[in-house]
Amino acid sequence: MQKTIHDNLNGLLADTLVLEQKLRHYHWNVQGPQFFALHAKFEELYDRFAEVIDDVAERILTTGGKPIRTLSGALAAAAIKEDDGQPEALAMVRNLRADLEGLRERAVKGIAAAEEANDRGTVNLLDGLNDEIEKTLWMLKATLS
């Protein structure tokens, strides 16, 4: 069961590593009428995901696992894909929403596996992350309305 939890956490780690870089890309390159709001929001989110990366990696270590060590390993394990294009601002928001929906699904699966293993620390970590993602998804959906 612990291997399942470690696999899930490493997948989450990989996704957050890719997502953090995508958010930096969007922060640097956003343009248009919503520039100020999105520029600030993307920075806020990549700063937050830098913390999530650290929390998840430390949880893997705390439970006896080994976190992904390389960017190539993260790219191979991630469901979230890089964006080397130059999307317009609202396309960035749509892309981010889709990425966060996938990340939320992974967190929910991780919660279920951790609950089955009675791993309260992992459940607590992922519950908090899931709550943050839900709120951010709500805000992104409102932006697109």
**Amino acid identity of 139?**
M
pLDDT digits (tens, 9 = 90+) for 7-32: 999 999 999 999 999 999 999 999 99
Mean pLDDT of the chain: 96
Q: Where are the domains of the chain?
A: 2-144
CATH code, residues 2-144 = 1.20.1260.10
Question: Sign of the C-alpha dihedral, residues 71, 99, 140, 93?
Answer: positive
pLDDT digits (tens, 9 = 90+) for 43-77: 999 999 999 999 999 999 999 999 999 999 999 99
pTM of the model: 0.95
pLDDT (0 to 100) of residue 1: 67
pLDDT (0 to 100) of residue 2: 83
Query: Nearest CA to 60 among 26, 93, 19, 16?
Result: 16
Hey, what are 2's tokens? 């612990």
